[in-house]
Structure 1
């Protein structure tokens, strides 16, 4: 019998292997198929809608190496509602389990296919990276959500690749090599997740403005941070720098914006590529109004009275500011005032005003 020539067909995609042999015969003729195997494993997981192509290798009498006999295989499925097979191309139809059988010259091999619900979405965490050249990080965690709402951690099953040589994959990590942008791509079966990666140059200096600020309660202000690369170019790092507050109850920082929470002073420390900057924030109460003890006065000539003025803040706090307020009289000929002491001079009407901070309060005075 002449040597058998088999056409090379089928894609070596997912490798499934199970070897089934027929009883061997010491007198088998040259060219007889002794055993066949579906490369890869005895079971395979697929998602609804996915397709894979199997390769079948045979041990043939008279040949030292295994022969690709995919083109001559007769295929069958135990459940066409779950999985169909045409010329070695397997398609997942519905959730369930089916057995795929390959047969050549009476020799069989089979693989069990488990079909799960269709993948609705795939997500990587983190969803993006920024690396300084030469630095590396652990590959992302990947989860999928199926059509039935079930979430699965498939991190260990992801096959990773990078779109260019600006970054490399080494021992389960991604390493930035050259400044630029690269796409990290992870495949789970026929589903792909993409993670953008920015590889940056080394930052030699970081500056923040303003370095000191005063904020009123509940007010916010953005910090601007500029980084300088080793080549002299600059970059805005305002949203990239990581900040910590010496007292988060007084002021916090989110995405580069400071928010005043309670009265006090804090030091904010920002880090980026081992560079550190600081900003001092003072949270001060806002003066709401000035309050006098009386709404109006009636005095006799040559008599006097001393008024106190109180400052009230938005925090509810109050303090006496009588001695530090600036006092004035609209008609000193009627009444004079100094440090809150009003002295009636002659009959008439005047207004006494106290100013402190950015507020003022006035009281009408009648001398009669």
Structure 2
């Protein structure tokens, strides 16, 4: 839709998209407050020296290994899995880039070359606002940015005052039009607060970062969006044109990854897990439409590792248990993390800080029990 009219002219569409984003990221007001006499909090000399120290191979290698190797590639065409697999061959060149960056504080422009892609937000697309822009950057730039972010995390407490002033100077601020004020308990004068802030009013439960915030974690309905996405994805593929190998690849790369975010934070109910596995089984074995075929191999065998005679498809419930157990490991490792301090203050620490004391209720209680007993006893 261009100026209220549908258009198929590529040139007109391209110009309209370009104009939209130029106007979105520009402003008419150019006045900025002066900061000549403002006293900023600053980091210590020791922290500054720590930030400015030369890069070492082990620091860069840990960052490379922590990346998800299956993310979309950038303009160079390489995913992070390429850097992880070929580290022994490439590490000398990569570390050389870091040394030059440290010595000159600049790097080649080709490193920050970026592809911008528009991802549809919904099915019926009529306007540029129906797309979400994402940036596809090169692997080397991701590595540099992550290494710098890790260093900055150590001194971010001293930079908060600077960041607040940066908001005033740069004009970058919270988008209140997309913000919601959510009361917890009885909040007096809520409507007046909404009018003052210019945001919207909402209530719990609500969706935040794709997850139902404030909903009961045992509620099976919170998984409905994931089930609907899996069903739509399956319905959109023409099984006639996919071999068994193609179906297995699709299940591994797409279908199993859909609920991963939920699985890492919420225990999956048995009925939901069975429904998801049913969708995967039917997609693998059945024909077109309602044409049902015999399932030749038990699903538990299909989910075995390839080296053990299976197809390497993840068992959702075991995968869920492993992801939830990872939080217990992080509890023992991330002593300074805010979430860890909150849990520790609420339940108390035991075993030298590696676990909490006895927990009788709540989601954290379920994390502990899932790890020690498995999922079968809870739903």
Smaller-chain TM-score bracket: under 0.3
* Bigger proportion of residues as helix: 2
TM-score (norm 1): 0.16
Larger relative contact order, structure 1 or 2 (CA cutoff 8 Å, min sep 6): 2
